[in-house]
Structure formats: structure tokens, C-alpha cells
Amino acid sequence: MKKPILLGTSTATSRTPCCSKVGIKKGPWTAEEDEVLANYIKIEGGGRWRTLPKRAGLLRCGKSCRLRWMNYLRPTVKRGPIAPDEEDLILRLHRLLGNRSSLPDIHNHDAYFRGFSFDSLLGWALIAGRIPGRTDNEIKNYWNTHLSKNLISQGIDPRTHKPLNPVSHGSSQADQDDDDDVPESNPNPPSSFKSSELMGEKTNSMETTNLESHQIYQHQQEVGDDCMGQPSSSGNGGDLVENGNEDHMFSLFLDSLITDNQQQQQQSNNGDLWEAETMSPMVEFGNPQNYFNHHQQHP
């Protein structure tokens, strides 16, 4: 999903690297470095990662410091193996949300075509945000090394969560119509469905920034008092307060995706698992804003 860059242009793409590569240490962190970084953040707080290494006396790139803190040193980071319930949650969230490389999956949901951009809420970070103490890197690694292989061994495409060999699951019309390259569409699209929306024009009031603020809001709640109080320069601090209710509603929406999907799988225990996947609250409510409205009317 990476966009091509134009080499040789004098735009922002020619920005200087995040740190001078000269004299910067790379590779695994030592216990001493960990201690220096943790102590510094404990006293001074995180943020301003670019200058943090110098201030802390570390010969590390700012990005490296941030990554080390976020993925390892943070007090809220949970160590140890992934529990079965966590694994189950990862599977369900991945099936529902996918990652950026499996963006077409989410296209299968009508909501995407109704102007709701999921670009900002897809990804490991969002999945990790629903699993306390786990980092996006950890979830991503666990997925790539364990879960995707498990799915493949079960004949399931880990990207689409559909059978690798659809023939073995019958030859229904639905299967014949199933084409990963062609997004499924609602057989009964609403009258308001417009091609312009399909082309990506946002007509829904639910803007991307609100969703991103949800991620940050959720993350800050998770981080809590771990000295990360400095809002990022690109943060949506003000929105966090103003959109708090929407953030909460979005969180509820996400919870419903998990719960409903779980119920559908239970209901389809002896049926076609894959048919169940096509049903989701997204389809039911059209888009999260509809979901919000629904639940505000029916708390």
C-alpha cells in the first residue's frame, strides 16, 4: 500500500533523516541503555523523540528510542505469551478490520462505499489498542509467525479469511460470485448510494480525523500515567475532548463488531462459516454514524 515516491524531487520527500547516521548506535539495546531511557522518561517524560536521545545522553536515533519505549520499556506493556483469549480476539479483529495490506477486505463492507473511510482505522495499532498491554509490533509478529500459518494450515487465506480453495466449500452462487479482486456490493444499495462516494469522496459527517483521534484517545487512556503526557505535535488534543462522546461511541461500535461476529460464528457453527463473515454490524447499520445514531436512540 506504500505510495511511490518521486526520487530527486525537492519537496518534503527530500527531508533530512530523523537523525544524523554518524555516531548513532544501532541494533539490540543493552540493559544500560534501557535504564538510561526509562529513567529519563520517568523524570522528563516522553515526546520530542528527535532530541530526546541527546538530552538523555543516548547514542540512539529518536525513532529507535521511541520504539524501544513503546514496545518494551513502557510499564503498561504486557510480557509473556499471548493467551488463548487474546489470540481469539486478534483473529476476530483481524477478520473484521484486517490490516492495511488487506484493504480490499474492508471493501467488502458496504460501509466503505458509503463514504466512510476505514483507511485510518485499519491496522495493527487498532487491533493492539483493543488488547491491553500488547503492542502493534507484538500483534503483528504474532500474526505473521503463528496465526497466519495456522490459518494456512487450515486451508484459510490469512489475508481474506476465506478458503484458499473455494471449491472445497461447495459451488454455490455466492462462491462463484466471490472474487477477491472485485468488492462485494450490497444487493440492495440504498437510494443515497452514489458513485462519487465509491470514488472516495467523503460525504459522511464522520470524518477521518475523528477516527484517528479515537485511536489517540484510546492509546492515551491505555498509556495512562506512564509519563507520556506530552501531546504529539500532530496530536488532536482538542478534539479528544470535543469528540469524546463520538470516541466512546466508536469504541462501542467496535465492541459490537467483535461481539456480533462472535455470535454469528457461534450461530454458524454447523453452517457455512464464510457466509457468516459477510454479515456484520457494518452491513446492518451502513456506517458507524448510523450505528451511533441507532444506539443513541436506543441506549
Q: How far is CA 56 from CA 40, 74, 223, in A?
A: 6, 16, 21
Among 44, 87, 119, 180, binds DNA (CB under 7 A): 119
By CB under 7 A, is residue 5 in contact with DNA? yes
CB of 201 to DNA, least distance (A): 15
At 157 the three-state DSSP class reads strand
Question: In whole angstroms, what is the distance from residue 234 CA to residue 130 CA?
Answer: 23
User: Quick one: which segment of 36-44, 48-56, 182-190, 291-299 binds DNA (CB under 7 A)?
Assistant: 48-56
43 part of the interface to DNA, by CB under 7 A: no
Only segment of 124-132, 185-193, 257-265, 282-290 that touches DNA (CB under 7 A):
124-132
How many CB atoms are located within 10 Å of the residue 93 CB? 22
Q: Which of 213, 216, 214 is nearest to 228 (CA)?
A: 216
- Asked if residues 61 and 18 have their Cβ atoms less than 8 Å apart, the reply is yes
Q: Which is nearer to DNA, 1 or 22 (CB)?
A: 1
Q: Is 1 an interacting residue with respect to DNA (CB under 7 A)? A: yes
Query: Which of these segments, 58-66, 104-112, 167-175, 248-256, binds DNA (CB under 7 A)?
Result: 58-66
Distance of alpha carbon 55 from alpha carbon 268, whole angstroms: 57
Which member of 37, 94, 163, 215 binds DNA (CB under 7 A)? 215
Select from 44-52, 179-187, 194-202, 287-295 the region that touches DNA (CB under 7 A).
44-52
Instruction: Find out whether 249 and 292 touch, Cβ atoms under 8 Å.
Output: yes
- 97 CB contacts (<8 Å, ≥6 apart)? 106, 118, 121, 122, 123, 126, 127, 257
Binding of residue 123 to DNA (CB under 7 A): yes
48, 230 in Cβ contact below 8 A?
A: yes
- Write down the least CB distance from residue 141 to DNA, Å: 5
The residue within the footprint of DNA, chosen from 38, 40, 41, 49 (CB under 7 A), is 49
Tell me the closest approach of the beta carbon of residue 188 to DNA, in angstroms.
31
Closest CA to 204 of 282, 286, 279, 126: 286
Residues lying near DNA in the complex (CB under 7 A) are found at 1-5, 10-16, 18, 25-29, 47-51, 60-64, 66-68, 70-72, 99-101, 119-120, 122-126, 136-138, 140-142, 144-146, 149, 208-209, 212, 215, 219, 232-236
